[in-house]
Amino acid sequence: MTPLKHLLAAAVLCLSALPLRAAVDIQTVTSPGGIDAWLVEDHSIPFVALELRFRGGASLDAPGKRGATYLMTALLEEGAADLDAQGFAAARESLAARLSFDVGDDALSVSARMLTETRDEAADLLKLALTQPRFDADAVERVRGQVLSGLQSDAQDPNVLADRAFSRLAFGDHPYGTPYEGTLDSVAALTRDDLVAAKDAVLARDRVVASAVGDITAAELGALLDTLLADLPATGAPMPDDVVPDLTAGVTTVDFPTPQSVVVFGQPGMERDDPDFFAAYILNQILGGGGFSSRLMTEVREARGLSYGVYSYLVPRDHAATWQGSLASSNARAAEAIDVVRSEWAKVAAEGVTAEELEAAKTYLTGSYPLRFDGNSRIADILVGMQLDDLPPDYVETRNAKIEAVTLDDIRRVAGEWLMPGRLRFVVVGQPEALDGAEAMVIPAAGED
């Protein structure tokens, strides 16, 4: 291990041992070139964590090019400018920098971990990846092969099939309705020109948010961001339209040879900026988000032994919102598990929750929140996520008060308005028994568009 690698390893180790912070001093920074960012200075260790997010993500795939943004993102560290894949990796290693890229439905993520000593050189290397990726034929084919292998594996995973079937029902032809990884056919047909177009569609200055935590000043961060981003296109592709989930009550089955049925269920949900979001967040904690203390876990697992686990979760995406859940049960008892979930969903909608349940949920949610701020890298990730959600910098300080302000009447009202047993759709992948009235759904083979 080189001395720089030793230094980076020591910095990361120290970061993991930092004490929890009672407050996070967030500065808002605007670079000379007009790039906005949030900064938390911490000069105790010569290290900075930088996070960039580009809104739009894989939802910006061009028509007929599903999977292009996903494949492009995987190739960003496979060579840039005059550095091929091996040369780029060697340059990164010599700087003891960590660069990573990821993409989802709504955003493309760029994460960098850089030592102060080599920060400028690491930023220059990252700039090459963002602005001059090579997309060499050999790298494209190697990474394409990895993606295709993953798609073939997904086609045999009932959990993946259930999620995708639910998304297709909920979102139809919207980008959310198809897997952002693409299909065997669509990925196999992608060209280098498609990858370049995908890069220009999403890596643009008009949709970037940024955060940094560590050994860097506001002036230094502004200069670094201009270095990284000035050469990117000013604007990217138009954002997709909003979509209302097309979900009605009922059960959809997908035949799959497995002894255990995988069940994904859901209804339309609440947007992140809704005034009642905190009440819904707490309600979900009680209903199915609170592990062994939740209503669904108590009724489905503890009382009847129908599943090892059942969970619910709010999914407020940029262009649609759902309230979902999942479980797995034996084929013989999946129908009973569905009945219990449906019954509990309706019961909470009609009756709300108890004062004791509300207090326990508040105690957990407020007590666990500070534990998230356990190092510079984690804080940088939280800050950039806050910006994606259009939250103000003082949210870190006010969030727990918003939780505490929710009353039992708020919970009961939101339960009655937002829990919709009449629109709760179940998707079951397996060979469940005695599911009366279920609608069969055929999932195309992995290679079909």
What is the per-residue pLDDT for 449? 56
What is the per-residue pLDDT for 444? 64
How many Cβ atoms sit within 10 Å of the Cβ of residue 413?
14
What is the per-residue pLDDT for 448? 56
What is the per-residue pLDDT for 20? 42
**Parallel, antiparallel, or unpaired for β 425-430 and 250-255?**
parallel
Residue 71 exposure: Cα atoms within 13 Å on the Cβ side: 37
Q: pTM higher than 0.85 for the full model?
A: yes
Q: What element of type H or E holds 185?
A: helix 184-189
Please give the Cα distance from 45 to 42 (Å, whole number): 7
Please give the Cα distance from 232 to 35 (Å, whole number): 12
Q: Collapsing DSSP states into helix, strand and coil, what is residue 435?
A: coil
Residues 103 and 55 sit within 8 Å (Cβ to Cβ): no
Question: How far is C-alpha 361 from the geometric centre of its chain's CA atoms?
Answer: 24
Low-confidence residues of the chain: pLDDT under 70: 1-23, 443-449
Residues 103 and 198 sit within 8 Å (Cβ to Cβ): no
What is the per-residue pLDDT for 279? 98
